[in-house]
Chains A and B, each alone.
Chain A
Amino acid sequence: MTVHQEARVRRRARLRGSTAGRALAACMVGVVFSFPLAIMAVGSLRKPGLPPPGGLELLPDVLWSGNYETAAGLIPLGQQLLNSVLVVSTAVPVTVLVASWAGFAIAMARPAVRRLLIGIALVVLSMPASAMWVPRKVMLEQLGLTDHALVVALPAVMGTTPFYVLLFAFAYHRIPRSLYEVAAVEQASVFRIWRSVAFPLARPTMFAVAALAFAAYWGNFIDPLILLTTEDDWPLALGLRALSALEPTLHPLYMAAAVMATAPAALAFLAAQRALAPRRDLET
């Protein structure tokens, strides 16, 4: 075996070692984070009315799937699930589009303007969300925009949060400038440059923002609590909140509803796994 071959074998062994180490670390983190989900799923299969288990229960003695049906009877689960789907299916694409456009504008701006816009975004980002609760409610009431399930999706028309805008801005900024310039020389409009060059190359960021926005809107119960007074307009997260007030022995019902509220988000994240993986596209 030559010196080069030996070096290659050693390098491959090192790479295998580091890949295995990374996979093990990822598995450990996965186990830690999926533990509450497992507790929730196991809890949803426990018969209601029984005293709580003494310690950690891997599986209840009797598996009881009727909690799902009972929970659906206690709150208008179907309507609220529909509301949540409506909010998410509106807010997520709008958030991605608006945040992407705003990020593109920042990335394309002259350096001084770009720095200013990033500074403004960071200032807005540092404001506590609770500071906007009352002003937003007052503003929407004056505009007559309360009491509709979709009111909750309104922040999407501003990109939901400056954080998403900054994610896109940094992603677009990493794309070689010459790609934008050659597109401009080839008579592509700004919109076409965004659509044909910037947006496709920022695909992982797009999926990351979509996943974050999905999780944010799906689990949001504060805004619906402030803005929506009719139970039929509530999203599932707020309906779930109502179930949490049940007495402790009925918690399996709450857990069953929580599983139904969590499953779509978890499935959406799993489906987007491949898209979130880094692409080799930028290796020209």
Chain B
Amino acid sequence: MGIAIHGAHKAYRSRRKQPIAALTEVDLHVARGELMVVVGPSGSGKSTLLRATAGLEALDAGRIEIGGRDVTTAAPGDRDISLVFQDYALFPHLTVAENIAFGQRARGVPKTQITTDVAQAATMLGLTAALARYPRELSGGERQRVALARAMIRRPKAFLLDEPLASLDPDLRLRTRAEIRELQRRLGVSMLYVTHDQTEALALGDRIAVVRAGRIEQVGTPDELYSRPSTAFIARFIGTLPMNLLPPEALGRENGPVTGIRPERTHLAHAGHGHLTGRIAAVEPSGEETVLHVVCPDTTRILVRVPSSDGVPRPGSETGITWSNADEHHFASAEGPRTA
């Protein structure tokens, strides 16, 4: 077992001494060598979960095991983990080599061994030429790699990463994402990766845990989360475009479940045909595909993604929208659980 979190509960006190739950009954199991992404909106408790796993926050209740050992009350340094922060947390007064070697020195590893380990980590992450430089002399991507090198040099049982790509530009983010994935596979280490970016989560995770308001709403593979979201919230949150959630009235029913349909599963039809008809309010071309914002007479807004090669309709025109019934998802309410 890599990381096991059982019944984790954590509450903070507000200024008025009111308890605010950051984590409620969280159970999460990360297998050995698995990359688990914890994703959720801001303030959902995902960073608290990571910090509690690292020992930087004490749990009010619950248990944490790393590598099969109960570390609930262990100090951060005794958990055999490595941590990478969003701001990289590089020591600005130390060179790259000294930053990478910091932990080894603290642990009293012999100097010759440290030199070998630093050289090895630097080679693996392409930092050999930067070893004598200071963090302020590095690019964002290089700083990120130094933080990773410092984390991997001790060969920990688990890697914890807190939004490690948030400060990078989109190009570099894409490249570093692939490097992190490759590094994790090569080292075969368990990784708990926190992000608010669902695209990053889908691209990186062996499995993804979606956190909302301190609770885990669903844990599953990227495909499971995309194709069978367990709640309407996850349906909206996961996916390049949020799933369309249609109240029964929009489909001419008096009651019944909320129907979900992904924008990429919808098709255009002639006005007055298909499941719905509406007016195209906005057109967003994005290369090979175009996203249409369609407003139905009852003000329901629907996103439709169509191939640009099909010909893009003009804003203001009427269009019908259709889809296969097999692609429908059903939820108890706009925030509720899946019913079918």
Contacts and interface: CB of A to CB of B under 8 A. Distances in A.
A201 interface: yes
Nearest to B162: A178
Interface of A: 176, 178-179, 181-189, 192, 196-197, 200-201, 280-284
Interface in B129-146: 135-136, 143
B306 interface: no
Contacts, number: 73
Contacts of A184: 56, 75-77
Contacts of A283: 92, 136
5 contacts: A281-B93, A282-B92, A283-B136, A284-B92, A284-B143
B323 interface: no
Given A181-B56, A185-B54, A185-B77, 10 more contacts: A181-B89, A182-B83, A182-B85, A183-B91, A185-B56, A185-B81, A189-B106, A283-B136, A284-B90, A284-B136
B89 A187 contact: no
Interface of B: 54-56, 75-79, 81-83, 85, 87-93, 102-103, 106-107, 135-136, 143, 150, 154
Contacts of B81: 185
A225 to B, nearest CB: 43
B114 to A, nearest CB: 13
Given A186-B106, A187-B106, A192-B106, A201 B85 contact: no
A184 B55 CA distance: 10
Majority secondary structure of chain A interface residues (helix, strand, loop or mixed) = helix
Contact of A185 (B83, B87, B91): B83
Give 8 nearest A-B pairs by CB, closest first: A186-B103, A187-B77, A178-B89, A188-B106, A182-B89, A281-B92, A178-B85, A185-B76
Contacts of A200: 93
Contacts of A179: 89, 91
Contacts of A185: 54-56, 76-77, 79, 81-83
Contacts of B88: 284
Contacts of B135: 284
B87 A284 contact: yes
B76 A197 contact: no
